[in-house]
């Protein structure tokens, strides 16, 4: 049976010339999703900061905070993307004369596009707002750390400062070194010891025979120990210093490895959460599109009571 010439070309022209993208619906869904994402992430940030404590062994653990952050990010993506996709599917125009598979494809595309736009918008908004919150928390923590750092600096004294500013101090001391046990002030002796320790630890970590003997002479002057006992004390204290430096290096390496693993896991789970958001947005858009296409027919009162009753669809 041939199609009527006055209806078929019009349908073909409509299907060919009409755009298959409802940008108004996409931007509406993206705006809703971005706003909901911002609200939920700010809520999660507030809950996370309330669960933290500056005191040791109090508040939530780092592992617990990490797991809760991943879960909250996934929940945020599911809720925000679902709402944005549903709005994009429900607010789109109705496509006539299309196969059902094409309608499903367009709804899926609308949900995905709304998720993509919302993700870009939320990335800009969330980075700015959450960054300010995190910056405030970091500044608060930095004030506590700076207090501890200032106390440590006072304990260290001025010898470390002189060592950092005088990189050739060790060689100058070696040039003026006397084999005789010359009496020097405590500050001068402390500076010499610090420079010898710093230079040795920065290289192979082994005290030379000359440095070991000279340090023993300085110790013997101030402790009334014999040269042999002073050398034994030098070996003991230097061994403790070397072990402390090795422990600091090991802890720094472990902290760096942990930070790298945390960054990798955070990136991985963020990818998974965003992928779930894209899927949920597309699925919700299909659902919203089906609700949009569910046509309810109302009787036209102009034709009430006539023999040929027609129905006017609500578009």
Question: In this structure, are residues 25 and 87 in contact, taking their beta carbons and an 8 Å threshold?
Answer: yes
State which of 200, 224, 250 marks the end of a domain. Answer: 250
Q: Is the pLDDT of residue 145 over 60?
A: no
Question: In this structure, are residues 304 and 285 in contact, taking their beta carbons and an 8 Å threshold?
Answer: no
The H-or-E segment that residue 298 falls in is strand 297-299
The pLDDT value recorded for residue 207 is 83
Domain count, the chain: 2
The pLDDT value recorded for residue 149 is 44
pLDDT digits 0-9 by tens, 27-66: 999 999 988 988 888 888 888 777 766 665 666 666 777 7
Q: Cα dihedral angle (42, 47, 52, 54), rounded to 10 degrees?
A: 60
Domain-embedded: residue 42: yes
* Mean pLDDT taken over the chain: 74
Same domain, 237 and 173: yes
The pLDDT value recorded for residue 184 is 66
State which of 217, 250, 283 marks the end of a domain. Answer: 250
The pLDDT value recorded for residue 81 is 92
Same domain, 294 and 167: no
Domain-embedded: residue 10: no
Same domain, 102 and 234: no
The pLDDT value recorded for residue 270 is 85
Same domain, 49 and 112: yes
Domain-embedded: residue 7: no
Q: How confident is the model at residue 193 (pLDDT cuts 50, 70, 90)?
A: confident
The pLDDT value recorded for residue 307 is 45
How far are the Cα atoms of 43, 65, 84, 113 from residue 57, in angstroms, in the given order? Answer: 25, 14, 41, 45
Same domain, 75 and 142: yes
Same domain, 229 and 292: no
Same domain, 146 and 277: yes
Domain-embedded: residue 47: yes
The pLDDT value recorded for residue 310 is 44
Q: Is the pLDDT of residue 162 over 70?
A: no
Q: Is the pLDDT of residue 90 over 60?
A: yes
Q: Is the pLDDT of residue 218 over 60?
A: yes
Domain-embedded: residue 261: no
The pLDDT value recorded for residue 30 is 92
As a whole number of angstroms, the distance between CA 222 and CA 170 comes to 21
Domain-embedded: residue 258: no
State which of 250, 282, 299 marks the end of a domain. Answer: 250
Domain-embedded: residue 82: yes
As a whole number of angstroms, the distance between CA 79 and CA 73 comes to 10
How far are the Cα atoms of 14, 96, 103, 145, 199 from residue 99, in angstroms, in the given order? Answer: 14, 9, 7, 65, 80
The pLDDT value recorded for residue 312 is 46
Question: In this structure, are residues 98 and 15 in contact, taking their beta carbons and an 8 Å threshold?
Answer: yes
Most confident of 82-91, 216-225, 289-298: 82-91
The pLDDT value recorded for residue 161 is 47
Average pLDDT rounded to a whole number, residues 108-122 = 90
Average pLDDT rounded to a whole number, residues 7-17 = 48
- With pLDDT > 90 as the criterion, what percentage of the chain qualifies? 14
Same domain, 108 and 90: yes
Same domain, 88 and 108: yes
Q: Is the pLDDT of residue 268 over 80?
A: yes
Q: Is the pLDDT of residue 301 over 50?
A: yes
As a whole number of angstroms, the distance between CA 112 and CA 281 comes to 6
Same domain, 39 and 148: yes
The predicted model scores a pTM of 0.58
Q: Is the pLDDT of residue 245 over 90?
A: no
Return the CA Rg of the chain: 37
Same domain, 41 and 128: yes
Domain-embedded: residue 191: yes
Q: Which domain holds residue 211?
A: 158-250
Most confident of 260-269, 284-293, 295-304: 284-293
The pLDDT value recorded for residue 160 is 44
The pLDDT value recorded for residue 82 is 93
Same domain, 114 and 180: no
């Amino acid at each position: 049976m041939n199609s009527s010439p006055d209806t078929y070309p019009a349908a073909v022209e409509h299907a060919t010339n009409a755009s298959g993208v409802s940008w108004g619906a996409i931007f509406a869904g993206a705006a809703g999703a971005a706003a909901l994402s911002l609200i939920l992430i700010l809520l999660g940030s507030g809950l996370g900061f309330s669960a933290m404590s500056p005191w040791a062994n109090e508040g939530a653990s780092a592992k617990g905070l990490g797991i809760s952050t991943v879960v909250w990010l996934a929940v945020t993506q599911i809720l925000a993307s679902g709402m944005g996709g549903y709005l994009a599917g429900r607010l789109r125009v109705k496509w006539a004369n299309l196969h059902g598979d094409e309608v499903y494809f367009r709804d899926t595309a609308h949900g995905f596009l709304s998720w993509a736009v919302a993700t870009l918008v939320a990335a800009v908004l969330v980075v700015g707002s959450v960054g300010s919150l995190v910056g405030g928390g970091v500044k608060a923590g930095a004030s506590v750390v700076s207090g501890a750092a200032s106390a440590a600096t006072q304990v260290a004294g001025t010898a470390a400062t002189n060592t950092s500013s005088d990189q050739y101090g060790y060689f100058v001391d070696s040039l003026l070194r006397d084999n005789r046990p010359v009496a020097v002030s405590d500050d001068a002796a402390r500076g010499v010891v610090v420079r010898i320790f710093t230079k040795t630890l920065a290289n192979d970590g082994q005290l030379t025979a000359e440095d070991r003997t000279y340090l023993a002479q300085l110790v013997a002057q101030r402790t009334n120990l014999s040269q042999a006992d002073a050398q034994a004390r030098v070996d003991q204290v230097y061994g403790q210093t070397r072990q402390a430096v090795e422990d600091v290096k090991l802890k720094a390496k472990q902290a760096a490895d942990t930070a790298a693993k945390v960054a990798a896991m955070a990136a991985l789970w963020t990818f998974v959460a965003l992928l779930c958001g894209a899927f949920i947005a597309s699925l919700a858009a299909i659902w919203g599109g089906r609700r949009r296409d569910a046509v309810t027919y109302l009787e036209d009162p102009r034709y009430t009571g006539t023999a040929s009753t027609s129905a006017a669809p609500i578009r």
